Amino acid sequence: MTDYFKQYPNKEGFFKEYGGSFIPPDLQKEMDNITNAYHSISKSHNFISELRSIRKHFQGRPTPVYYCQNLSTKYGGRIYLKREDLNHSGAHKLNHCMGEALLAKHLGKKKLIAETGAGQHGVALATAAAYFGLECEIHMGEVDMAKEHPNVVRMKILGAEVVPVSHGLKTLKEAVDSAFESYLKDPINTIYCIGSVVGPHPFPMMVRDFQRVVGIEAQEQFYEMTGENPDHVVACVGGGSNAMGMFSGFLDLEDTLLHGVEPGGIGTKLGDHASTITFGKPGIIHGFKCYTLQDEKGEPAPVYSVASGLDYPGVGPEHSMLKDMGKVNYGVADDAETIDAFYELSRLEGIIPALESAHAVAYGLKLAKENQQQSILINLSGRGDKDIDFVVEKYGLPEDNA
Ligand SMILES: *Cc1c(COP(=O)(O)O)cnc(C)c1O
């Protein structure tokens, strides 16, 4: 399996036909610098031992694998969770943000720059910046800032500068442009940090490598608990970082089926979902090639999901390749199934999941019903504190205590 990780991506950042780097030459030069630095620094003893220590003492890793007795009794199957909700700051995102920030430190950078849509990446990066004593500049559309006010406050408390983006639709796309512009003004002292396994090379590779810890831990923990490997591994897919981290620990196991779960939203019409792999086709978006949802003009299509962390019209190039190879099965959970799963996990196990993660739980419960004798390991990518007000306001409590 080490072969797989040596083979993909290739030197130019391609996962078969996907990935690569389709960006202006000035930006390409900076990406090449980051690639070269990553290849040498990430293999150094200092880098590896510092990251290991951070994961243990700051992030609280390894996160546990937990057997859901109550859910398993109700649905059948043997249902397990990898508890990334217990990773510091409440989700898997800090795994790659700490890696990116540590790389920045080794490169002598002073400032981290990123854009954020829902604010989760911004908060994780601001956390990493505070740890390393780096400056942090987060670009965010004004529409998103109003919608995600608590995350804006969190970033500011952590010491980040939040730059409001007020042109165009004032959402993620404009924030990306604004962040790149700021980065290119001073690429010597700053570094651009992408929040998932997307964007131009080397980010899909780098973010996957930083997330691999999830899958490596989970495979070892599950084997230690049960004496076998799981029959099914399930993770939600937005850009695809938590899923790629999880799957990377199981890709070489012939008998373990991998399931990526996309947000089905409220229907199959373009604009009603964000199921990029399920309904999209290959194209170029934000500087790399992947499955994308596009309108008739070839522009990124509007997307929708109840979970703001999943509504992206592209997906990681590695997922695109794994889809074509048939290595991973990509399915869908819609909003209604997701809200049901959100309450089921809360009520039966005492764990409130992030709405993103609840997509994976919903799909896992379906698998459990259909495979009564089998084991299902679900990556619980984050905790749901951020979602509780929204869920209760929009969907109400379940009938028994509304
Ligand atoms: C951001 C986020 C996701 C989606 O991102 P991926 O890169 O697809 O993992 C999933 N779960 C949680 C909790 C998130 O915050």
For residue range 199-220, list pLDDT tens digits in order: 999 999 999 999 999 999 999 9
Does residue 402 register a pLDDT over 70? no
Peptide bond before residue 62 is cis, with ω within 30 degrees of 0: yes
Tallying the residues shown for the chain, one arrives at 402
Question: Stretch 365-389: mean pLDDT, rounded?
Answer: 97
Six-digit token string for 312: 């992206």
pLDDT for res 2: 64
**Which of the listed CATH numbers 3.30.70.20, 3.10.20.310, 3.40.50.1100, 3.40.50.1110 matches domain 60-90+212-401?**
3.40.50.1100
- Residue whose Cα lies nearest atom 10 of ligand 1: it is 356
Instruction: Report the alpha-carbon distance of residue 248 to residue 328 in Å, rounded.
Output: 11
Cβ proximity of 123 and 89 under 8 Å: yes
| Per-residue model confidence (pLDDT) at position 147 | 86
Q: Which residue has its alpha carbon closest to ligand 1 atom 13?
A: 382
Ligand 1 centroid – CA 222 distance (Å): 22
242 vs 177, which has greater pLDDT? 242
Average pLDDT over residues 242-270: 98
Residue 172 neighbours by CB under 8 Å, 6+ apart: 115, 117, 141, 144
| Total Cβ atoms within 10 A of residue 377 | 28
CATH architecture of 4-8+16-56+93-204: 3-Layer(aba) Sandwich (3.40)
Q: Residue 1: pLDDT band by 50, 70, 90 thresholds?
A: low
Residue-range domain boundaries for the chain: 4-8+16-56+93-204, 60-90+212-401
**Mind listing the pLDDT tens digit for each residue in 48-102?**
999 999 999 999 999 999 999 999 999 999 999 999 999 999 999 999 999 999 9
Dmax (CA) of the chain? 59
Whether residue 231 contacts residue 329, with contact meaning beta carbons closer than 8 Å, is answered with no
Specify the residue for token string 């920030």: 101
pLDDT higher than 70, residue 334: yes
Q: What are phi and psi of 353, to 5 degrees?
A: -85, 155
Q: Cβ(242)–Cβ(92) under 8 Å?
A: yes
Packed helices 45-57 and 93-106: angle between N→C axes, nearest 10 degrees: 140
pLDDT at 388: 95
DSSP 199: S
State whether residue 117 is helix, strand or coil.
coil
Query: How many CA atoms within 13 Å lie on the side-chain side of 209?
Result: 22
CA 243 to ligand 1: nearest atom: 9
21, 44, 45: which is closest to 33 by C-alpha? 21
pLDDT, average across residues 40-44 = 96
Ligand 1 pocket at CB < 6 A: 91, 93, 120, 196, 236-243, 309-310, 354, 356-357, 381-382
Active site residues: 68, 92
Positive or negative CA dihedral for 267, 269, 272, 273? positive
pLDDT band at 399 (very low <50, low <70, confident <90, very high): confident
Question: Which residues are CB-contacts of 70 (< 8 A; sequence separation ≥ 6)?
Answer: 348, 349
- 148-189 tens-digit pLDDT: 899 999 999 999 999 999 998 888 888 988 999 999 999 999
Place of tokens 């690639």: 35
Residue identifier of the C-alpha nearest atom 4 of ligand 1: 238
Distance 261 CA to ligand 1 centre (A): 12
Same fold, 4-8+16-56+93-204 and 60-90+212-401: yes
Q: How far apart are the first and last CA of the chain?
A: 50
The label of the residue with tokens 């999880």 reads: 246
Q: Name the percent of the chain lying above pLDDT 70.
A: 99
List helix spans (H) across 42-186: 45-57, 69-75, 93-106, 120-132, 142-147, 149-157, 172-185
